[in-house]
């Protein structure tokens, strides 16, 4: 059931940037078309350029024309475009925030519940909040005021805590919405419902029945034109620290008391704080890193493309050497009764043989092994590119002899006629609804950085040349050093038979 949304004004900072043009403005249009915006909801776009309202509305039309090439409903367009206003906020204008406050203060145009979306550089987060506070635009004495902050929230634990300290000079924790767009994906949200809405899963969701769990995010893409950013970040901080640890929390957390945001958040926080710190003295047995070398990757339709290696890409941009990982695999344990002794293998990499994001759960050996080499059961929740749930079970091959084969039960999550919702649409709607369950609480952010920081530090101090893996290949064989037993292996595509090296 759709929630009732208070009339509000969405104030979009960075409105002329790529995120706004490609995701946010088209997403808001789709929400309007679906009838999910309050009738008198307004959008105030904030940009550096001097534009009239008419000029900005013409730009919005261009964004929508580019996104919806098959056209769109004129009635919806007329309603949506009427919601949109523009405010010029050049950095040279010392009074721009006073002018913004004056504009927003016109209650005949703008609802006074204000949601701010800060699609800006991380260095601007605290600056903008301070300026909003200085003109009374985050005060909640009469109306609610919420601030959505794009990732990253800090680059390590001290910087995250410093940013939090700056923000909480002016905002309560309940006003801060730290985005992880990954959590807006329907397939990620489905992880929790798959567990708790099905009686057949939850009794088996523990160390008595599960051998290990793999959480994977692999891409065929390289770093592209993000060399400077990526080399200062690496796979561990880019994907592992945020998206993949959040996915792990949903997979492993205890059942919340109910589906309220506070209950869901509480269990995620408890789980993240229960992950055992990595033993950096034995890091080589718990974590593996590598960089992609030149190779050949699939670009779709069965075609291949020769690509250069990471170090060559850096040299092209003037960076002579690097110890930054483009492949990271970490073994984690959770210190609670449910998961005692169960390894969680979390990996992310660029320039792999396939792009795939999935949770793969291997169950323990069956109580009866009818034939030698009998396979163990798997449950795979695939997030992208195909949203589906797959189970693999053993079944007798018809005939006189006793022999088994693996049967695949494959259920697509997305069926014909289902809505296609972008993660940003979900998260913007949650912001306006006041639902923070798919946003990060500061306790989650701190727990994730506490886990990652020691690994980042140990890797930064280790100047041993990184292992090179050929672009377009599967995981480096050397990465198997983190496995707990010799019969464990990286799970690949959900296609049957594509699971082993």
- Residue 315 to residues 82, 226, 231, 322, 468: CA-CA distances in angstroms? 49, 13, 12, 10, 16
Give the phi and the psi of residue 191 in degrees, each rounded to 5. Answer: -55, -50
- Specify the DSSP class assigned to residue 275: B
Overall average pLDDT of the 240-259 stretch: 92
pLDDT tens-digit readout, 274-296: 999 999 999 999 999 999 999 99
* pLDDT at 1 exceeding the cut of 60: no
Catalytic residue among 87, 181, 212, 243: 243
DSSP states along 421-467? --HHHHHHHHHHHT--TTSB-HHHHHHHHHHHHHHHHHHHH--SPPE
Which pLDDT does position 420 carry in this prediction? 65
pLDDT tens-digit readout, 86-130: 999 888 888 999 999 999 999 999 999 999 999 999 999 999 999
Would strands 327-332 and 344-349 be described as parallel, antiparallel, or unpaired? antiparallel
Which pLDDT does position 496 carry in this prediction? 39
Which neighbouring-strand residues pair with 295? 307
Overall average pLDDT of the 147-157 stretch: 91
pLDDT tens-digit readout, 431-490: 999 988 888 999 999 999 999 999 999 999 999 999 999 999 999 999 999 999 999 999
- Mean pLDDT across the chain, nearest whole number? 90
Which pLDDT does position 110 carry in this prediction? 98
Percent of the chain residues topping a pLDDT of 70: 94
243 is catalytic: yes
- Residue 226 to residues 219, 229, 278, 316, 397: CA-CA distances in angstroms? 15, 5, 29, 12, 51
Q: Are 401 and 383 in contact (CB under 8 A)?
A: no
Q: Which CATH architecture has domain 183-415+468-482?
A: 2-Layer Sandwich (3.30)
Residue ranges of the chain that CATH labels 3.40.50.720: 9-150
Structure-token match 């798919």, residue found = 438
Q: Are 313 and 222 in contact (CB under 8 A)?
A: yes
pLDDT tens-digit readout, 340-351: 999 999 999 999
Overall average pLDDT of the 246-252 stretch: 94
pLDDT tens-digit readout, 211-223: 999 999 999 999 9
Percent of the chain residues topping a pLDDT of 90: 68
Between CA 30 and CA 351 the distance in angstroms is: 33
Other C-beta atoms within 10 Å of 252: how many?
25
pLDDT tens-digit readout, 15-71: 989 999 999 999 999 999 999 999 999 999 999 989 999 999 999 999 999 999 889
Q: Which of 114, 266, 238 is nearest to 180 (CA)?
A: 238
pLDDT tens-digit readout, 376-424: 999 999 888 888 889 988 888 888 787 788 888 888 877 676 566 678 8
* pLDDT at 501 exceeding the cut of 60: no
Which pLDDT does position 418 carry in this prediction? 58
DSSP states along 13-59? ETTTSHHIIIIIHHHHHHHHHTT-S-TT-EEEEEESS---HHHHHHH
* pLDDT at 498 exceeding the cut of 60: no
Q: Please, which pLDDT band fits residue 499 given cuts at 50, 70 and 90?
A: very low
Domain 9-150 CATH superfamily: NAD(P)-binding Rossmann-like Domain (3.40.50.720)
Q: Please, which pLDDT band fits residue 497 given cuts at 50, 70 and 90?
A: very low
Of how many residues is the chain composed? 501
Which pLDDT does position 398 carry in this prediction? 87
Q: Please, which pLDDT band fits residue 186 given cuts at 50, 70 and 90?
A: low
Residue ranges of the chain that CATH labels 3.30.360.10: 183-415+468-482
* pLDDT at 361 exceeding the cut of 90: yes
């Amino acid at each position: 059931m759709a929630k009732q949304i208070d009339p509000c004004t969405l104030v979009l900072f960075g409105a002329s940037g790529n995120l706004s043009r490609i995701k946010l403005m088209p997403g808001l249009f789709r929400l309007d078309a679906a009838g999910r915006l309050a009738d008198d909801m307004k959008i105030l776009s904030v940009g550096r350029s001097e534009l009239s309202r008419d000029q900005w509305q013409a730009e919005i039309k261009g964004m929508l024309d580019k996104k919806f090439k098959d056209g769109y409903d004129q009635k919806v367009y007329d309603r949506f475009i009427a919601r949109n206003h523009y405010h010029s906020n050049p950095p040279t204008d010392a009074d721009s925030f006073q002018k913004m406050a004056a504009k927003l203060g016109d209650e005949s145009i703008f609802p006074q519940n204000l949601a701010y979306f800060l699609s800006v550089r991380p260095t601007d987060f605290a600056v903008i909040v301070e300026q909003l506070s200085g003109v009374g635009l985050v005060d909640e004495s009469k109306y609610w005021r919420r601030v959505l902050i794009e990732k990253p929230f800090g680059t390590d634990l001290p910087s995250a805590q410093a940013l939090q300290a700056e923000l909480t000079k002016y905002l309560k924790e309940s006003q801060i919405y730290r985005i992880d767009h990954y959590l807006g994906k329907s397939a990620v949200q489905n992880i929790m419902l798959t567990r708790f809405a099905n009686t057949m899963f939850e009794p088996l969701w523990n160390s008595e029945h599960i051998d290990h769990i793999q959480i994977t995010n692999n891409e065929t893409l390289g770093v592209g034109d993000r060399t400077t950013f990526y080399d200062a970040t690496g796979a561990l901080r880019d994907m592992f620290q945020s998206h993949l640890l959040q996915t792990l929390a949903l997979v492993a957390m205890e059942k919340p008391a109910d589906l309220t945001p506070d209950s869901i958040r509480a269990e995620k926080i408890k789980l993240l704080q229960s992950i055992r710190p990595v033993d950096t003295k034995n890091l080589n047995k718990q974590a593996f890193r590598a960089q992609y070398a030149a190779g050949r990757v699939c670009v779709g339709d069965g075609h291949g493309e020769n690509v250069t290696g990471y170090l060559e890409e850096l040299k092209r941009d003037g960076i002579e050497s690097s110890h930054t990982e483009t492949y990271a695999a970490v073994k984690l344990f959770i210190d609670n009764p449910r998961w005692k002794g169960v390894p969680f293998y979390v990996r992310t990499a660029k320039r792999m043989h396939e792009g795939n994001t999935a949770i793969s759960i291997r169950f323990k050996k069956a109580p009866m092994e009818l034939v030698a080499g009998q396979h163990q059961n798997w449950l795979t929740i695939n997030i992208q590119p195909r949203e589906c749930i797959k189970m693999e079970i053993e079944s007798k091959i018809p005939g006189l002899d006793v022999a088994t084969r693996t049967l695949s039960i494959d259920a697509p999550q997305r069926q014909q006629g289902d809505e296609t919702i972008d993660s940003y649409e979900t998260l913007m709607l949650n912001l306006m609804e006041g639902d923070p369950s798919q946003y990060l609480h500061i306790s989650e952010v701190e727990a994730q950085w506490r886990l990652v920081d020691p690994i980042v530090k140990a890797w930064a101090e280790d100047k041993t040349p990184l292992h090179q893996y050929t672009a377009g290949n599967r995981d480096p064989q050397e990465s198997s050093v983190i496995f707990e037993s010799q019969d464990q292996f990286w799970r690949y595509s959900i296609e049957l038979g594509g699971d082993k090296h």
